[in-house]
Amino acid sequence: MPQIELAGKIYEVDEDGFLQELDKWNEEFAQAYAKTEDIEGPLTEEHWKIINYLRDYFKQFGIAPMVRKVCKDNGVDMKKLYELFPTGPAKGGCKLAGLSKPTGCV
């Protein structure tokens, strides 16, 4: 399995860079990973709001929220989500939040 070094720590990831040991997630991981998902500079409050929301939802329900749910619960629209996570809420948002990789016919 591939490994990636971020902020001095080694993480097991899959070929798409999704974390393979979800309990290893931490804030430095998300920050250090941001630039590979086209996010420049430090993560903003708006980024953290979505990342924390995704993590809480996953913890509570065992699944990533549907994108409509993300928008509704956070008062953002799709356009805003893509501004925050240019590679998209699934590939970008879920990856930084340390959720399992989206599956199905993606």
| Site residues, another protein (CB under 8 A) | 14, 19-22, 61-64, 100-101, 103-105
By the 8 A CB rule, do 28 and 7 touch?
yes
Token pair, residue 69, equals 């749910």
CB of 51 to another protein, least distance (A): 17
**Measured from the CB atom, is 32 or 65 closer to another protein?**
65
Q: Select 40 or 45, whichever has its Cβ closest to another protein.
A: 40
Burial annotation 65-74 (CB, 10 A radius, 16+ → b, else e): beeeebbeeb
Structure tokens at 47: 């980024």
Catalytic-labelled residue, pool 3, 61, 75, 105: 105
Which residue numbers are catalytic? 105
